[in-house]
Amino acid sequence: MQAVAPEPSARRATSLSVATADAALVERIRAGDTAAFEQLFEAYYGLLCNFALPYVESPDAAEDLVQEVLLWLWEERARIDVRGALRSYLYVAVRNRALNYLRSHRAARRWAAGAEHDLPLAGVGQGPPSAERVLRRSEVTGALQVALAQLPERRRMAFVLAWQHGLTNAETATIMGISVKGVEAALAKALDSLREALTPIR
C-alpha cells in the first residue's frame, strides 16, 4: 500500500510544535539546565555523527567533532542565538567544523573525490531477512553507495540531508547555504542519476 503524504496543514502544525519544543529546549539550556542539554544530546548525537562521517571518513573523528560542537554549545550557552530550526543550527555547526577539519588535515581533495564508503542507509528492511533478501539488499546498497559517491557534491549532500536525515528542503538549504529552489533542483537531478544507476539491478 502506498503511503499517503500528510496534508500541508498537518505538516505545518507538526513543524510549529517541533519549533516550539526546540525553542523551549534552547531556553532551558541557556539557563544552565543540564537535563535539557542531555535531552538534546540524546536526540541529536547519533544523527550528527552520521552526518559528519562522510566528511571526515572516520567514526572516531566524527564522534570527536560532534562532541566538540556540543561541548561548545554548552560552554557558550548564554551567548548562543538559534534562529530557525534547532536541528538546522546543529547541522550547520557540524558542517562548518567538519570543513575546518578537512582544511586542517589536507583532506579536501579526498572529500571532493567522493570517498563515501561507510555512509549508513536509513530505513532498509525490517525483521529477520532471508538469505535471498540479504544478498539483494547488499547488492542494492552497494550500488546505491557507488552511485552516491559519483554524484557531484551538491547533489550528494542534498540527497543525504533530505532523504537519509529527513530534513526539509528549507533546512537543507540553510545547511548547504543555497536557496530552496537550488535544493529542489539538486534533489531532482540526484534522483534522476540514482534511478539511472540502479535501473540495471531492478
pLDDT band for position 101 (50/70/90)? confident
pLDDT above 70: residue 25: yes
* pTM passes above 0.75: no
Residues 69-100 have pLDDT tens digits of 999 999 998 888 887 788 888 998 998 888 77
* List of residues 6+ apart from 180 with CB closer than 8 A: 169, 170, 173
Q: Structural domain boundaries of the chain?
A: 1-115, 128-202
Q: What is the CATH number of domain 1-115?
A: 1.10.1740.10
Q: How far apart are CA 68 and CA 74, in angstroms?
A: 10
Residues 145-201 have pLDDT tens digits of 777 778 888 888 888 888 777 778 888 888 888 888 988 898 888 888 878 877 655
Q: What is the CATH number of domain 128-202?
A: 1.10.10.10
* List of residues 6+ apart from 73 with CB closer than 8 A: 29, 37, 40, 80, 90, 93
Q: Hey, what's the cell of 180?
A: 530552496
